[in-house]
A and B are shown apart, each in its own frame.
Chain A
Amino acid sequence: METYGAAGSGDAPLSLLGDPTRRAIFELLARRPRSVGELAQQLPISRPAVSQHLRVLKDGGLVVSRAEGTRRVYRLNPDGVAGLRAWLDRVWSESLTSFAKLAEQNQDVDQKAPEQEQP
Chain B
Amino acid sequence: MSTAATIPAVHGTVTVAVPVERAFRVFTDSFGSWWPSEYHLGAAELADAILEPRVGGRWYERGADGSECDWGRVLVWEPPHRLVVTWQINGEWQYDPDPDRASEIEIRFTADGPERTVVELEHRKLERLVGGQAMRDSISGAGGWGGVLARYAEATTSKVE
User: At the interface, yes or no: A69 with Cβ under 8 Å from chain B?
Assistant: no
- Residues of chain A within 8 A (CB-CB) of B10 are 6, 9, 14, 85, 88-89, 92
For A1, give its contact among B15, B140, B145, B161 (CB under 8 Å).
B15
Q: Which residue of A lies closest to B114 (CB)?
A: A119
Q: Specify which chain B residues have a CB less than 8 angstroms from the CB of A93 in the assembled complex.
A: 12
Q: Which residue of B lies closest to A25 (CB)?
A: B160
Tell whether, in the assembled complex, residue A98 and residue B35 are in contact, meaning their CB atoms are under 8 Å apart.
Answer: yes
Q: Pick the contact of B21 from A1, A11, A115 — CB < 8 Å?
A: A115
Interface, chain B (partner A; CB < 8 A) = 1, 7-23, 26-27, 30, 33-36, 39, 80, 111, 114, 119-121, 123, 126, 129-130, 139-140, 144-146, 148-150, 152-154, 156-157, 160-161
Q: How far is the CB of A73 from chain B (nearest CB, A)?
A: 14
Q: Could you say which of B11, B111, B144 contacts A8, with CB atoms under 8 Å apart?
A: B11
Instruction: Enumerate chain A interface residues (CB-CB to B < 8 A).
Output: 1-9, 11, 14, 24, 26-28, 30-32, 42-43, 75-76, 78-81, 83-85, 87-89, 91-104, 106-107, 110, 115, 117-119
CB distance from B31 to the nearest CB of A (A): 9
Which residue of chain B has the shortest Cβ distance to A78 in the bound complex? B140
List, in ascending order, chain B residues with CB within 8 A of A106's CB: 26
5 residue pairs bridging A and B, Cβ less than 8 Å apart? A6-B10, A7-B11, A31-B154, A76-B146, A104-B16
Q: What are the 3 A-B residue pairs with the smallest beta carbon separation, nearest first?
A: A30-B149, A78-B140, A27-B153
Question: What chain A residues lie within 8 Å of B153 (beta carbons)?
Answer: 27-28, 30-31
